[in-house]
Structure formats: C-alpha cells, structure tokens
Amino acid sequence: MSGAVGTKSRTGIRSENSSSKKVARSGRLSRNELVAELKLYADLYEHAPIAHITLDRFGVIRAVNLTGARMLGVERDSLVGRSFADLFSESSRPPLSEFFERLLASNQSSSCNALLSDAGNALQQLRIEAIPCRDGSEIRLALIGITESERAAKALQISEARYRGLFEAAKDGIMIVDAGTGEIHDVNPFLMELLGYQRDELVGHMLWEVPPLTALAASEAEFAVLQHRDYLHNDDLRLVTRDGRSVVVEVVLTGYRIDRSKVLQLNIRDITVRKNAEDALLKSEEQCRTIVSNINEYVYSVRFEEGDIKSIYHSPKCLDITGYSPEEYYRDPLLWFTMIHEEDRNQVVQFLNSIFAGEDQDPIRHRIVHKDGSIRWILNNCAVQRTRKANRVTISRLDGFILDITDIKRAEENIFFLAHHDPLTKLPNRSTLYARIEDVLRVAQKTRTSVALLFLDIDGFKQINDSMGHDVGDRLLQSVARKLGDCTRSCDVVARLGGDEFVVVLWDCGVSETSVVAEKIVNAGFPLQGTNVIVTPSIGISLYPEDGKDYLALLKHADIAMYHAKKGGGNNFQFFTHKLNEMATQRFELEAELRHALEHDEFVLHYQPKVDLATGHFSSMEALIRWQHPVHGLVMPEHFIQTAEDSGLLNQISKWIIPTVCRQLRQWQQQGLGQVSAAVNLSASFFQHRDFEETIEASLLETGIPPESLELELTEATIMSDPQRVLGSMAAMKALGLQLSIDDFGTGYSSLSYLKKLPVDKLKIDQSFIRNIARDNDNAAVVRAVISIGRSMQLRVIAEGVENASQLAWLQAEGSEEAQGYYFSRPVPVQKMTALLREKANFLHNPRGRVQAKQF
C-alpha cells in the first residue's frame, strides 16, 4: 500500500495526502500516526466496496480505486486517461454522455444505470452515482453493481406486470377460485363481459352463488367434486348469461398451489360460434350421409397412397348393387376390381387410364359379377383428385358413383330386340330382314352362288283371325314361325314381314333345292290349334341373281309369284316367271288406270229391272257398274272389279256408287216415277269397312229417300268372310230400314240354321242354276229347294239370269216371286231406265231381251 501513497498520477488522491500533512503540522497526530492514518484511508479508498472514479469535465478518467479497476475489468494503469463512456456498451454510450452533460449543466448529483461490456463482451448492469466537483471541472463517480436479487425482483415485477397484462387482455375468460372454499379470487374483464357481471359481483362470491357459473358447480357439494381436481376439460358446457343468452363454453380447469393454499384456475372460452358451426356441419354431414345412403347410387371414394389403394367411403347402397358390404370394401380395397366382369376389364382399365391421364370421359357402362353370382350392368362415373408434391402431380383420390342400370340395360336390349324382331314370333322383322339379306347377297355375289327368297302367305288367315279370334290367329302365326324354322337350316333367314306374311331366305339354293324346301313347307301345313284344320300356305319364290339383283326386286318378284300361287287356290308354291311379271305389270297398270278413272269420273251405273212375276212390272232394279273407258269404250265389271277389289280401290268406288244410286232414286221419285227401289252390290271388304255405315247413313240423309228403297246385295262369301261382324252390320242396316238380299244364293255353304239368324229379306238364286234349269235336274232341285226355303222362312226369292221364256215358265210354275235377266231387260243406262219407268213397262207382256241385246 505504501507504494501507492504519493503516486498522485496513478491514484489521483493527492488532496487527501496534503490534508493529512496539514493535520500532522498542526501537531495533533504524530508522523507515524499520520502515516498510519493515511494508509488506512488509502486502503479504505482502494478497497472500498464501491468503485470510485474521478473524471475530468470531458469524461476522461483521472483517478480510479482498485475496486473500480476490478469492476471495470481493466488494469488501473491503462484506465487513467481513457474515456469513461468508452468502457460501456455501445447502446449505453449516448445516454451516458447525455447524463454527464445534464449533470455538469445542473451541477447537482444524479444517478443512472448503464451496461458495462467487459473484454469478454459480457454485460454488467451498473448503477452510477455522480457528483460534480470543483466547479464542474471534475466529476466523482461511485459505481455500484446491481445485484442478482435486485434483478430477480425487477424481473418478477416485469413478469407480474406481463402476466397481469395477459390476464387482463386475454380473449378467454379466466377465473381464479380458492380450491378450499370455492370463493372467487379474481376474474378477467373478458369473463365479466361474457357473463354480463361486474368484478364485485363475482370476486369474493362463492362459485355457486353466481347464476351463470352454477353450470360449473351448482352447490357447495358439487364444488367439492371439483376442488380436488388438478385438471378438467369440458368442451361443451352451456352457460346462461345475465342477459339470457345461452353460450357454449369450453372450460379448462387447472389446480395448482400458491404458497400453501390451492387455487383453481378456470379458463373459459366462448365457443358458441364454433359449436354452432360444428353443429351445422354435423347436421349437414348427417344430411349428406342420409342423402347419400338413400339415393340409388352407390357412392365411393378411394385414396391412393404410395401405390396402395385405401377405401375411404362406400355408401350402404353398395350392398344392394354389388352384394358386398362397405366393411368388405374397407377390408379389401381391390374388391371392386375383382368383381368387374372379365370381358369388361380391359375396357374399365382403359377408362381409368384416360381418367388418370386427365381426359374428360363420359361415365362407363360395364358389367359386374354380383356377390350372388348374377351379372349386373352398372353405370360408373368417377373423377380424380390430384395433389402436387415436390413438383410432382400425383393422383390422390378417386371419387365416384355407381348406378345399377341392369333394368335399363335389359329394357334397352328388349327395345333393341323389339326394334329388330317381331314381338309375336320373335323372328327378325322387316328392317332386320333387309339388313340380313343385303349381307347374304353381298356374299352370294362374291361366291357366285344362288339365293332363294320365299314369300309366304297363309291361306284364309284373315277369315281364321276374324272368325276364331286373334288369340288363335296369333298362335297360328307362332306355329308357322316354328315350322319354318324346322324346315330350314340355321344359316337360312326366316323373318316375318307383318300380318300373315313371312319371308325365308335360303343360302346357296337353286331351283331344285328350293323346290324341296318349299314342298316341305307346303306339306308340313300348319295345324290350327283346337281343331282338325290344317292351314296351308301360298309361297312365291324368286331366285338371285336371275329374278333380281337386290332385296326389293327379289321381294317384289316373290310377291308376284305368291299372288299367282294364291290365285291358283293356295296350298302351293310358285316360282317367279316373266309371264307372271307381265301379268302383274298389267294388273298394276290396270290399277293405275282405275285410280285415274275414279278421279276422272269415268264410272257409270247401268240398271237392270227386277220383275214381279205376279204382275210383270218392276219390283225393283239392280245397279251395275260400268267403266266408260276413253279408249276402250264401255268396259264390263268382269274386266276390272277383281283388280279393284284386290287393290282396295273397290271401297272407294263403292263410296261413289251408294250416293249415286240414292241420288238417282230421288231424281226418279222427283220425276214422279213412283216409289222406285234399287239394289247395289257390296263387296265383302267394303261391308266390313269402317266408312261403310257412315256412307249409307250420309247418302240417305242427303237424298231423303225412304231407306227401304235401297237394297243391299251380299254374296254368301261376303257373309261367311266374317260372319259375326257381317251379322252386326246387317242388323245395323236392317235397323236403318234397308232391304237385304243374299246374292248368288246356293253357291256357298250357308247352313239353314245360320240363315235363320240373318236379317235378310230376299234370296237371289244364282244364274248358274237357272241356265240349264229345264235339262239339269240337280240345278232344278237346288232352285226348288231355295224357293221352298224362302217360302218357309218368309223370304222373297228372285231368280237371276233368266234369258228365255221356258226358264221363266219353269220358275213361275215353281212359284218364284221375282226374276231378273236378259229375257226381260239387259242392264240399261239411266235414260233408258227412266224411259222404262215412265212407260210403266210390263216385262211379262213385253219382254225386251232380244231387242235390247242388239241395242247394247
């Protein structure tokens, strides 16, 4: 220590040394005492627990004690002369400089804190007490290190302030409750606002005394359950706030000790919005689930994970559609692939590949094998979800739905079948036949082989259908289809064109092979169910290539040949010939001409008297059609009536005849020629035509003639074509007041019992019986029989075709009431008939046959 005394440049304590000398000079202390005292002060100074530093006005260190040098961590020798502020951390320097400036300016002691950075850059908090001395030329500093406890106290204070801040500003409600008593110690503002209570209404009260908090513990006893818990979590607690709002809160209770007593901290979070959203989500999820569970589609979702497939969702409908339950799909995610029908797998794989490749695909229809082994058709629609990972896009999910379309598919197949087949016989229909025959002909052309087309029509089918009912007709058609199948090879085509028309196409068959097949069909016949009747066919045959190169030509020619076979009496087959073609051509030409004639009013009616054999006067007359041909002159019905009937034109002609006759009768009546009546011939087809009754009624209405002046002549064949229907129409005509007669009576096979049911007025004996009546006993017997039937049934009898006096005499002798024939008069045009009516001709006295024969 002695070395330090007097070293004024190093310590800066010269003033103390000089004052000690003064004391020594005063004589009160001995020199040694003085030295000892000085040493004591010096030691006290050097080793004082406080660092003492003297700075000049510029802040440069002028003296420092040892404690100061230690505290500053720098050798004392190198401290003197250094700037004090430089010893401190950079951040402390500016405030420190300001501090000294203020100090010198105020010339009053002051203090501040600063961070000292030592050589190792460790920071130390120092408290600096500063006193300006010597009129501001020196500053004395005392440096005190701030202790750990001070720091801890400070930190605690800061921390407390921080936590208080958190507590106060928290956006959750926080409440501190004394675990022992249940008394509320503290609440934060958020909780007060949430509950609608003030601090003093909560703090100091028992938990169960605050109504909204009774949801936590409604009584002391309930609190007893809580008080020992250290942790509790409830995320669905409902509180009713002061203003009556029901809020859902999540409560986390944490128990911990402060000093010796336990407190419960309750964090209360308002989760009403979240809960409502969750509830809404749950509800909507539930709704979605219900919808998905109840819709007809099976909804599925699978996830792809590093090459693996995982089932995410399979709606319950999968059980119905595939037979497998959702659980089975969850267990085996590849189940769906194994159930795809073997034949459809490639198609499904291609479909999935294109979906995976990002192409737009329509839903795929494919088959699956149901768990029960049945085959089902499904409509499979799906979409993929992709995810991007490390610049790689991968497929993460496949979502889709499956609809069972088995019924639709069957219906489609059915519709397809029905579109291509005849539903009754299941044979290919017209359009399919067309397609098939085109194929057949293409091959035949390449292979230079023959093809035969058989056009088959069932004899008398219409009558069978009409008289025995459609069921019998249908069964007959089915049996024909079967028989045709039996008579042909599997490579041949059997088709139904419609009605009773069938077509058979025979591959590689010439005339002889085709004849064999046609004969087989004709000989087989078609038994009519429930009867002993065998129904027969008429077959027309055309051959490729000689009779036609295409389907239509072959069909047309086979049809012509069939017509001929039918005309020949049916139960036969006929090959197409060019002669037949000519005949058919003529027929078609005649048909065309008839059509033209109808349109151009070329038909005329002639009238032939019917003579009352008792008086010789008109009993009635018969209207007979003629064609006034512009080139050929007057054409008789035998040349056109059959063609008109076959082509259906006769119906239109009849619709012209009936009103024409009615108008003529009215005209005669208007001319004062008396009550004249006339008969018209009716074809079977027109009698059954839907316009028939309407035509009659309209004609009567239009002309106003008495209905009994119109007589309808029906042949036995007409009546027998559809007895039930014809009988109905006859009754209707009779009800209108018309006269009905059976024409050509005796040529058909009407039974007497049947005749009794017919509402007829007259029987007309066919002229074939009259012709040789004097010489032919059989004819005479028939005519006698008819006359006697008529008498017994009170029907008038008229004989037609009376050509001479002897026939007339015979008939008169047998009691025939009326007669018609050339002997009396040929059919004559209207003017001539008008003249006959006017002269009130007596045909018995003045038969005009011969004379008129010359005239017409």
Ligand X SMILES: Nc1nc2c(ncn2[C@@H]2O[C@@H]3COP(=O)(O)O[C@H]4[C@@H](O)[C@H](n5cnc6c(=O)[nH]c(N)nc65)O[C@@H]4COP(=O)(O)O[C@H]3[C@H]2O)c(=O)[nH]1
Interaction site with ligand X (CB under 6 A): 608, 623-625, 636-638, 641, 657, 680-683, 743, 767, 800-803, 820-822, 827
**Closer of 608 and 779 to ligand X (Cβ):** 608
Pairs from 627-631 (Cβ < 8 Å, separation ≥ 24): 627/594, 627/597, 627/602, 627/603, 628/602, 628/603, 628/604, 629/597, 629/602, 630/602
Nearest-10 Cα torsion for 83, 89, 91, 94: -10
**Closer of 473 and 801 to ligand X (Cβ):** 801
Question: In whole angstroms, how close is the CB of 641 to ligand X at the nearest point?
Answer: 5
User: Cα–Cα distance between 251 and 174 in angstroms, integer?
Assistant: 10
User: Cα–Cα distance between 93 and 90 in angstroms, integer?
Assistant: 5
Contact 706, 665 (CB under 8 A): no
Question: In whole angstroms, how close is the CB of 802 to ligand X at the nearest point?
Answer: 6
Helices of type H across 405-510: 406-420, 430-447, 461-468, 470-487
**Closer of 325 and 852 to ligand X (Cβ):** 852
**Closer of 69 and 649 to ligand X (Cβ):** 649
Residue 625 has a CB neighbour count (10 Å cut-off) of 23
CA distances to 59, 334, 600, 644 from 401, rounded to whole Å, are 88, 16, 69, 64
**Closer of 92 and 608 to ligand X (Cβ):** 608
**Closer of 253 and 802 to ligand X (Cβ):** 802
Question: In whole angstroms, how close is the CB of 461 to ligand X at the nearest point?
Answer: 23
Contact 172, 261 (CB under 8 A): no
**Closer of 574 and 741 to ligand X (Cβ):** 741
What is the biggest distance separating any 2 CA atoms in the chain, rounded to whole angstroms? 216
CA distances to 319, 367, 402 from 383, rounded to whole Å, are 22, 19, 12
Question: In whole angstroms, how close is the CB of 681 to ligand X at the nearest point?
Answer: 3
Contact 628, 831 (CB under 8 A): no
Core vs surface per residue 791-808: b (16+ CB within 10 A) or e: eeeebbbbbbbbbbeebb
Going by C-alpha positions, the residue among 714, 807, 824, 805 that lies closest to residue 767 is 807
User: Cα–Cα distance between 615 and 501 in angstroms, integer?
Assistant: 54
Reduced to 3 states (helix: H, G, I; strand: E, B; else coil), residue 783 is helix
Question: In whole angstroms, how close is the CB of 769 to ligand X at the nearest point?
Answer: 12
Question: In whole angstroms, how close is the CB of 636 to ligand X at the nearest point?
Answer: 5
User: Cα–Cα distance between 823 and 808 in angstroms, integer?
Assistant: 9
- For residue 255, what are its two tokens? 């128990």
**Closer of 480 and 624 to ligand X (Cβ):** 624
Question: In whole angstroms, how close is the CB of 674 to ligand X at the nearest point?
Answer: 23
**Closer of 128 and 682 to ligand X (Cβ):** 682
- For residue 551, what are its two tokens? 């389907």
- For residue 402, what are its two tokens? 């499956």
Question: In whole angstroms, how close is the CB of 661 to ligand X at the nearest point?
Answer: 9
**Closer of 500 and 766 to ligand X (Cβ):** 766
**Closer of 466 and 803 to ligand X (Cβ):** 803
Which pairing describes strands 51-56 and 138-145: parallel, antiparallel, or unpaired? antiparallel
Nearest-10 Cα torsion for 815, 818, 821, 825: 130
**Closer of 545 and 616 to ligand X (Cβ):** 616
Core vs surface per residue 228-263: b (16+ CB within 10 A) or e: eeeeeeeeeeebebeeeeebbbbbebebeeeeeebb
**Closer of 250 and 803 to ligand X (Cβ):** 803
Question: In whole angstroms, how close is the CB of 603 to ligand X at the nearest point?
Answer: 9
User: Cα–Cα distance between 600 and 304 in angstroms, integer?
Assistant: 84
Question: In whole angstroms, how close is the CB of 657 to ligand X at the nearest point?
Answer: 5
**Closer of 594 and 657 to ligand X (Cβ):** 657
Question: In whole angstroms, how close is the CB of 464 to ligand X at the nearest point?
Answer: 24
Question: In whole angstroms, how close is the CB of 658 to ligand X at the nearest point?
Answer: 9
Question: In whole angstroms, how close is the CB of 814 to ligand X at the nearest point?
Answer: 18
Whose tokens are 């039937």? That residue is: 789
Containing H/E element for 385? strand 375-389
**Closer of 463 and 852 to ligand X (Cβ):** 852
User: Cα–Cα distance between 392 and 411 in angstroms, integer?
Assistant: 46
Strand partners, 607: 623, 828
Question: Which amino acid belongs to residue 806?
Answer: S
**Closer of 216 and 641 to ligand X (Cβ):** 641
Question: In whole angstroms, how close is the CB of 604 to ligand X at the nearest point?
Answer: 11
Pairs from 627-634 (Cβ < 8 Å, separation ≥ 24): 627/594, 627/597, 627/602, 627/603, 628/602, 628/603, 628/604, 629/597, 629/602, 630/602
Question: In whole angstroms, how close is the CB of 619 to ligand X at the nearest point?
Answer: 15
- For residue 407, what are its two tokens? 């019924």
Question: In whole angstroms, how close is the CB of 843 to ligand X at the nearest point?
Answer: 12
